[in-house]
Structure 1
Amino acid sequence: MSLREIRGVWLTNTDSKVLKSQQRIAEAMNFLAETGFNVVFPVVWNQGVTFYPSQLMQQTFGVEINPNFIGRDPLRELIVEARRVGLKVIPWFEYGFASSYNANGGLLLQTKPEWAARDRNGKLLQKNGFEWMNALDPQVQEFLLNLVLEVVKNYDVDGIQGDDRLPALPAEGGYDEQTIALYRQQFHQDPPANPQDRQWLQWRADILTEFLARLYQEVKAINPNLIVSVSPNIYDWGFKEYLQDSVTWLKRGIVDMIHPQIYRRDFVSYKCIINRLISEQFTDATLTKLAPGILMKLGSYCISPEYLIKAIECNRKRGIKGEVFFFYEGLRENDGALAQVLRKKLYAQSASFPTLADLHVGTVHSQRSLSLWQKLERFLRNLF
């Protein structure tokens, strides 16, 4: 039987020149294929603009594409070059419901101020430099859904991807008049002043879960073979901070692949989180969907070859058939040192990308990959 693994990498426009020309794109796709990768996640949405000519953005905001790419279609160019070397393409909607970064809402909220998310003081919702649209607003949800469907309908892609901002909303949000009125209607009282109130957290997270369920259904209605992939924050931190109820997403079967962002800079921390996620979040039937997000490069940081090897070996020992790296430029650091490690050792044997059937395979396959200790741990947890 041929080897099937998810070997993915995110391709950004930040700290990267790959998207600046089709020639650069072609060279990058060659490099990824030669290194043993089989799927690329190119950015198509950030800073309130798209990386393809968008009729929806033109009609709604008067900006068809990121100004750096006027006259081009980087997404289409990338698909052509990726297909040429056998890579799958899953466009990544990086900013999701975030409108801007340190830009006071940017073009989106300047044009549609009624779409702004609000904190409990009524101010524009900001967290870690990002300003947010109201992800609980039906109009905002409709816009994001249509943006995703525009790509699905117009491009030969293998799926779509959301991340720690899709679906998501900082837990400090939800204090806009419309959401408050909806909460009052259901509970006959105002939302708690404490954003971390458990019922208030769950109620808002459930709205985002319903949005993801709708997105999943509408993508599948266009093409049932498309993969809906998400890369959320780690549970349950992601639930408490960004209303990302990824446990429920898995239980409801509204994701095909999930890449929790295990962005730790030492292997011991990475290993501890992997063990916890497998024991607490993933069942025998959903482990096949897991391909953790691994931090390869950020700013001056670059993962060591030793950590890279240990992380992938750890994944395989626990029955995890793949990983996705953030981000592409880490492979080119130090004259491609990390790419050489993958090419010569861990990815030396070629692997085909899993089918949807592989990702949704049931209990029998997954149970084989669980250790006796993990099975005992689950038994005891269910017992008590």
Structure 2
Amino acid sequence: MKAWRIVSLLTASACLLAGALTSTATAAPPAGETASSCTANPQTPLRQFRASWVASVVNIDWPSKTGLTAEQQKTELIGWLDDAVRQRHNAVILQIRPTADAFWPSKVEPWSQYLTGTQGGDPGYDPLAFAVAEAHKRNLELHGWFNPYRLSMGTNLNALLPTHPARLHPEWVVTYGGKLYYNPGIPAARKLVEDAIMDAVANYDLDGVHFDDYFYPYPVAGQVFDDAATYAQYGAGFPTLAEWRRNNINLLIQELQQRIKAAKPWVKFGVSPFAVWRNKATDPQGSDTTAGVQTYDDLAADTRRWVREEWIDYIVPQVYWAGGFAPADYNKLVPWWAEQVRGTDVHLYIGQATYKVGTSAQSPDWSDPKELSDHLAFNTTVPEVKGDIFFSAKDVRADRLGATSLLNSTWYTRPALLPAMPSLVSRAPLPVHALRSDRTSTGVRLQWTPTSANTTSYAIYRRDVTAGDWCPDNDARNLLATQRGTTFVDTTAVDGHRYLYTVTALNRAAVQSIPIPTFS
């Protein structure tokens, strides 16, 4: 499109929208309504990341058991995606590499045993391709969740396929705590982990690469992670084993971030760590906690540095404790993490412990159906918090104590755009073209033509002109839906009401175009 035509289109669109809003604004507001009624409602934010973790390891969520047919697995996965849509989530975190294996035909590692019951067993379809297509059909982001170093939930190396990289390189393997791990201190093992992840990034339209909290394994009393010989071989320049281990994990994060951005700059890289970096008693920069595990010391994961250096795009601390729980208080940890992301381009989402609802684990507060909802209420007081992820999908679906229903009816009554990440893709899409509306027997039908190659999805807004709706889009009160198609039917339109509809285009980083209006 010629530059002068683009300028003319933008100018005309802006003038049309300004005129429409001015016309709307001059309509008499309902009795008693004032400008204060346009204040953004924290319960219906315009942008918010909302997701659940769908775990595959030991068949926690999906597939529900091994040996299901391809059609049964597909039906189950569609169920989880439809759950997300009903709950007005906008993303899914799907575990696709639980134990150095794959939920896709990987060039690096074998098929996961959690699909068929046998490692290397072909499930008869491509689960990752299916997941990406079905998620995007519903305008859900799909983040591939990878566990970097865990090899097996058991200790028998010979139970792995003979062609498994770990069988070919047993010197890379460490047995610890009843499981097998790749040794993070071996550069070739780290490269293999990165190659396995990049195979998925290169060949699938993933929206994100996601790690959880497992780097070096959690400490097991009386056991030693046996990497002394590796430290002797590769640890030159690092005065302590602990510093060398942290550098090994730093290298994984740095290198993977660089490789992801070189391949696909729009793919987000996020980590969901155990929420305590260090206790304040250990380090004055740490959180006001007394947790028994500190990621910096025990997992060799300097999560605070990854944020400060902007090696990741988002962080999701697993703040799996109740508000007021003394050793690790939700209401103290969330502000601590907000302070860490402040001034960076790293987004802060909070990991929520749905699995604890209806239990008295650690704290009787989890017997209160309002606990999770209270967490989201607290989050509204911390501007840096941009969303939440819930563990895990089956616990969200279980709705114990009605906690999920309460949370959704309080906080997720409206759809939400994903938080924008202009640091990944800064150029906004061109606005949509030829927007028109038609009254039909089923509602108001909107159609438009895309004009921008970097458009991923669309947002549809509606103002009720008849009711004198003149508030700006500073929350989701006017947001009807988000979608990837170019036709939308508003089935909630009321006969006799005049509406102003606007449609915007969004790119892979959720950066939004200027709105294009139409009346109906």
- Displacement after TM superposition at 1:4 (Å): 1.0
Aligned in 2, Cα 1:279/1:30: closer, same or farther, shift over 3 Å?
Answer: closer
Aligned partners of 2:376, 2:156: CA distance in 1, in Å? 40
Question: Secondary structure, in 3 states, of the residue corresponding to 1:70?
Answer: coil
Of residues 356, 367, 373, the one that matches 1:309 is 373
Partner amino acid, structure 2, of 1:9: S
Work out whether 1:345 is the aligned partner of 2:410.
Answer: yes
- Displacement after TM superposition at 1:181 (Å): 2.3
Count how many residue pairs are aligned between Structure 1 and Structure 2.
334
Question: Secondary structure, in 3 states, of the residue corresponding to 1:102?
Answer: coil
Aligned in 2, Cα 1:146/1:201: closer, same or farther, shift over 3 Å?
Answer: same
The answer for the alignment partner of 2:103 in structure 1 is: 51
Aligned partners of 2:424, 2:203: CA distance in 1, in Å? 25
Aligned in 2, Cα 1:178/1:335: closer, same or farther, shift over 3 Å?
Answer: closer
Work out whether 1:232 is the aligned partner of 2:273.
Answer: yes
Q: TM-score under structure 1 normalisation?
A: 0.78
For the aligned residue pairs, the C-alpha RMSD in angstroms reads 2.9
In the alignment, is the contact (CA less than 8 A) between 1:288 and 1:360 conserved in 2? no
Aligned partners of 2:212, 2:272: CA distance in 1, in Å? 4
Work out whether 1:91 is the aligned partner of 2:132.
Answer: no
When you count strand as a share of all residues, which structure comes out higher? 2
Aligned in 2, Cα 1:277/1:360: closer, same or farther, shift over 3 Å?
Answer: farther
The answer for the alignment partner of 2:443 in structure 1 is: none
When you count helix as a share of all residues, which structure comes out higher? 1
The answer for the alignment partner of 2:390 in structure 1 is: 325
The answer for the alignment partner of 1:269 in structure 2 is: 325
Aligned partners of 1:180, 1:153: CA distance in 2, in Å? 35
Of residues 193, 199, 212, the one that matches 1:144 is 193
Deviates more, 1:137-146 or 1:172-181: 172-181
Of residues 350, 353, 367, the one that matches 1:292 is 350
Aligned partners of 1:274, 1:156: CA distance in 2, in Å? 37
In the alignment, is the contact (CA less than 8 A) between 2:103 and 2:111 conserved in 1? no
Question: Secondary structure, in 3 states, of the residue corresponding to 2:243?
Answer: helix
The answer for the alignment partner of 1:186 in structure 2 is: 237
Of residues 133, 140, 150, the one that matches 2:182 is 133
Aligned partners of 2:136, 2:107: CA distance in 1, in Å? 25
Aligned in 2, Cα 1:79/1:305: closer, same or farther, shift over 3 Å?
Answer: farther
Partner amino acid, structure 1, of 2:350: P
Question: Secondary structure, in 3 states, of the residue corresponding to 1:290?
Answer: strand
The answer for the alignment partner of 1:379 in structure 2 is: none
- Displacement after TM superposition at 1:287 (Å): 8.4
The answer for the alignment partner of 2:129 in structure 1 is: 76
- Displacement after TM superposition at 1:337 (Å): 3.4
Aligned partners of 2:409, 2:296: CA distance in 1, in Å? 39
In the alignment, is the contact (CA less than 8 A) between 1:257 and 1:359 conserved in 2? no
Partner amino acid, structure 2, of 1:46: P
In the alignment, is the contact (CA less than 8 A) between 2:152 and 2:181 conserved in 1? yes
Counting aligned pairs with the same residue, the percent is: 21
Aligned partners of 1:323, 1:299: CA distance in 2, in Å? 16
The answer for the alignment partner of 1:200 in structure 2 is: 241
Partner amino acid, structure 2, of 1:70: P
- Displacement after TM superposition at 1:89 (Å): 0.4
The answer for the alignment partner of 1:243 in structure 2 is: 300
Question: Secondary structure, in 3 states, of the residue corresponding to 2:129?
Answer: helix
Question: Secondary structure, in 3 states, of the residue corresponding to 1:52?
Answer: coil
In the alignment, is the contact (CA less than 8 A) between 1:6 and 1:39 conserved in 2? yes
- Displacement after TM superposition at 1:259 (Å): 0.8
Partner amino acid, structure 2, of 1:186: G
Aligned partners of 1:148, 1:50: CA distance in 2, in Å? 9
- Displacement after TM superposition at 1:298 (Å): 6.0
In the alignment, is the contact (CA less than 8 A) between 1:174 and 1:180 conserved in 2? no
In the alignment, is the contact (CA less than 8 A) between 2:269 and 2:312 conserved in 1? yes
Structure 1: gaps of 5 or more residues: 58-62, 118-123, 192-198, 362-384
Question: Secondary structure, in 3 states, of the residue corresponding to 1:78?
Answer: helix
In the alignment, is the contact (CA less than 8 A) between 1:294 and 1:324 conserved in 2? yes
Aligned partners of 1:344, 1:255: CA distance in 2, in Å? 32
In the alignment, is the contact (CA less than 8 A) between 2:316 and 2:348 conserved in 1? yes
Aligned partners of 2:112, 2:336: CA distance in 1, in Å? 43
In the alignment, is the contact (CA less than 8 A) between 2:274 and 2:295 conserved in 1? yes
The answer for the alignment partner of 1:367 in structure 2 is: none
Deviates more, 1:168-177 or 1:138-147: 168-177
In the alignment, is the contact (CA less than 8 A) between 2:185 and 2:234 conserved in 1? no
Aligned in 2, Cα 1:221/1:360: closer, same or farther, shift over 3 Å?
Answer: closer
Question: Secondary structure, in 3 states, of the residue corresponding to 1:268?
Answer: coil
Aligned in 2, Cα 1:343/1:277: closer, same or farther, shift over 3 Å?
Answer: closer
The answer for the alignment partner of 1:102 in structure 2 is: 154
Equivalent runs, 1:2-81 vs 2, <5 Å: 3-13=46-56, 14-17=59-62, 20-57=72-109, 63-66=110-113, 67-68=115-116, 70-81=123-134
Aligned partners of 2:185, 2:96: CA distance in 1, in Å? 22
Deviations 1:308-365 (A, max 9, x none): 101111122112121111100112215893442233211112111112228999xxxx
